[in-house]
Structure formats: C-alpha cells, structure tokens
A = this chain, B = another copy of it.
Amino acid sequence: MRVLLTGSAGFIGSHLTEYFLDAGHQVIGVDNYLSGQRQNTERFLAHPCFEFIEADVSAGLPSVQEKLDWVLHFASPASPPHYQQFPVETLMVGAQGTQNGLELARQHGAKFFLASTSEVYGDPLVHPQPESYWGHVNPNGVRSCYDEAKRYAEAITLAYHRHHALDIRVIRIFNTYGPRMRADDGRVVTNFVSQALAGIPLTVYGDGLQTRSFQYVDDLVEGIVRLMNVTHHTPVNLGNPDEYTVLDFARIIRDRIDPALPIVHESVPADDPRQRKPDISLAKQLLGWEPQIGLERGLELTIQSFQQHAKLSEPPRPAEHWSPL
C-alpha cells in the first residue's frame, strides 16, 4: 500500500516511516521542519519506497499522482516549548492542516488517520481517562494553542466522517518516548536524560508529585498498525498505564546515569496537568493491544540512543522555554 504521512520528520513520524518501509509499503513523507528533524528524512532518503516532500501542510498538501491508500496526519509541534513558541502555526496545523489531509484523503478515496493526543483531556478530573471523558481544558490558557487545535482536529475529522462518509481513525497518544526525540524538546524524558548525560542537575517543575505514564514508541507504532487493520471511527487511547511521579522518574533516570546528580525544583508552568494516565480498555478489547516494553527496557534503549546520537555539548535549558508567553 501507499501512505502519505505528514510530520514524517518528527519523532513518531520517523518510527512510523521506518515501520511502513520495513513492511514493504510506499511512504510519501511530508514535513516543513518546524519541529521535525532533517536527519529523520535523511535516514530514509536512499530507500526506494520512500519519497519526501518539504511542505507546510497547513498551507496545502502537494497533489499526488499515485493512488493513496492512507493519509496519516502526524504533523504538529507537540512539546510545550515548541508549541508555545509557535502557537499560531500549532493552531493552523490542527485546523487547516487536518482539513488539507481530510480533503486529500477524499480525493483519493483513501482512509484518514489522525494523531490526536491525551492533551484533549487537559488537566483531567477523571482518572484514569477513558475515551468517553470529555476533558478539562482551559480554552484560553498558554497550552490552548495545542489542546484546542487537537480537539478541533478531532471534531473536523468526525465531521468529515459523518458528513462525507470518510473512513477515519483517531488515536489519542499519551506521553511517548524513545530514540530520536529531540534533545531540546523540553519533555520530561529528554530533559532528564539530556541533563543527566550532561552531568548537570535534573530539573523538576513543582513538587514533582504530578504523575505521568510513559509509553515506549515501539508499543505506540504497534497500536497504530493494529488500528489501521480494524474499522473503528471514534478515538482510541494509546498509552502505557504504568504511572510514575515525575520525581520518581527523575530519580530512576538519574540513578541509571549518575546517582550523584542533584534534582532541583522550579516553578510549575501554567495549566500543567496533575495526573495523566490512559484507560486502555478499548484498545485491549478492540486491538488485543497493550504495551510490551517496560520502563527499564525502554529507558535503556533510549539512553543508549541518546549516548550514541545526541549532541550533548549544549544541554537544553527548559526553564526558559517554559515561561508563559
């Protein structure tokens, strides 16, 4: 089959590209490198089944001659420092970008796959979060450029399904980590790993008792592929329900790399969720899916990758990124 994948140069996009190529499919990747990385394109450019188009999917998707089977929309800044640096672009890729993907899928009679996010649950009042939970999102806060863009993306995707009978899939991706994350993306895992490898203190925002659940990227890819192979049109959570406090998480990473490093606390950013944990009952029942890679193994693979590939001479200073705009 042939898929067009927006955000192919992103962290998750690059792993999906690799999966599809390994499985013998044709991949047309699209990215504008707003937050994607060129090395995620370069690693596939020699592959005969990979084609790349540098384009801003919010401005329009290139016309494709060959028949597409899927349009997968994974393009968006996804980490708070990135989307708060580019709030309007983030809003646009959720609205115009999603609609451009939906229209391309309609033209080709292709299926459409939306990468939504656990951020649609906001700072949830229900724990863990099932797909039926409507969320608790501040529509005007500094995170709203991402959260509301993704809620809008879901709404327009469902509208195309209801109104144009488009065959759609929607996933809500919970925190995911693994090789090829940007060292400067400001996320918990990359911050802690980068800081620890650089031998500087690990930065925890607030008391660190807020919880997160971390999914290794290979588990996510497996869930995506399984969902492509069933017919289901409402959102499906994909995440790892193993829950850790951010402080525990800092300690685990610190102790793996350099137990002598201190952990320092900085003020908590606006609207930072206190808890986030997926209810994955639907994915279990629908896809026979659940995460297979535990935190110890996943961190081992991630730290190895960072040690091999990341340029660690300039560790990120996420506190600056986080200041409210």
Contact = CB atoms under 8 A, between A and B. Distances in A.
B154 A152 contact: no
A6 to B, nearest CB: 17
Interface in A88-110: 88, 91-92, 94-96, 99
B91 A152 contact: yes
Interface residues of A, number: 37
Nearest to A164: B88
Given A88-B160, A160-B88, A154 B134 contact: no
- Say what secondary structure dominates the interface of chain A: helix
A139 interface: yes
A156 B88 contact: yes
B140 A235 contact: yes
A296 to B, nearest CB: 35
A23 interface: no
A183 interface: no
A88 B136 CA distance: 24
Contact of A88 (B122, B144, B148, B163): B163
Contacts of A307: none
Interface string A25-50: 00000000000000000000000000
14 contacts: A87-B159, A88-B159, A91-B99, A91-B156, A92-B99, A95-B95, A122-B134, A134-B136, A139-B154, A140-B235, A148-B154, A151-B152, A152-B152, A162-B325
The 6 closest A-B pairs by CB, nearest first: A95-B95, A148-B155, A87-B159, A144-B155, A152-B152, A139-B151
Given A96-B96, A140-B170, 12 more contacts: A87-B163, A88-B156, A91-B152, A92-B99, A95-B95, A134-B136, A134-B139, A139-B154, A140-B234, A148-B148, A148-B151, A151-B152
Interface of A: 87-88, 91-92, 94-96, 99, 120, 122, 134-140, 142, 144-145, 147-149, 151-152, 154-156, 158-160, 162-163, 170, 234-235, 325
